[in-house]
Amino acid sequence: MKTSVDWALLQQQARAASEQAYAPYSHFPVGVAILAQSGKIYTGCNVENASYGGTTCAERNAIAAAVVAGERQFQALVVFTPQEKLTPPCGICRQVIAEFFTPQSPVASCNHLGQIQQWTLGELLPSAFTPLYLAESTKVDTSAAAKS
């Protein structure tokens, strides 16, 4: 079921999620709202950790929440940060987004000033390493038996 994207609602939900962020180290709260193909909206916020590598970004938390709920296909994603500069997803989040969204999926960033910028996932992550890429790859047998 494909629904139209209510950007204002996604921005509102992403902003509300950012208010729940746990960001005592970076002081950079991030909230995300994603629209699933089903029409449901899922949100996430960043959760930092004293061991910085243990930090989980808002995008991955929102996608994980949706996957737990049984979702696998998504239409749009909005990132909210209370920063003057609009913030797109980081590299690892772009890779995770590419697992569930299409290259044509809209990804937007908005802020507390009401500014918004939109890209397609393909613009943010060209030539993505995706399930489709793997499916279309030629498998090569490198075992010793194949070499003899």
Catalytic residue chosen out of the listed positions 19, 48, 59, 84:
59
Instruction: Return the closest-CA partner of residue 9 out of 38, 40, 37.
Output: 40
**What DSSP string describes 49-83?**
-SSGGG-B-HHHHHHHHHHHTT---EEEEEEEESS
Q: Is 123 a catalytic residue?
A: no
Tokens of 8: 């204002």
**Distances in whole angstroms, Cα of residue 145 to Cα of each of 64, 137, 139:** 41, 22, 15
Which residues are 117's β-sheet partners? 109
Q: Could you give the residue numbers annotated as active site?
A: 59
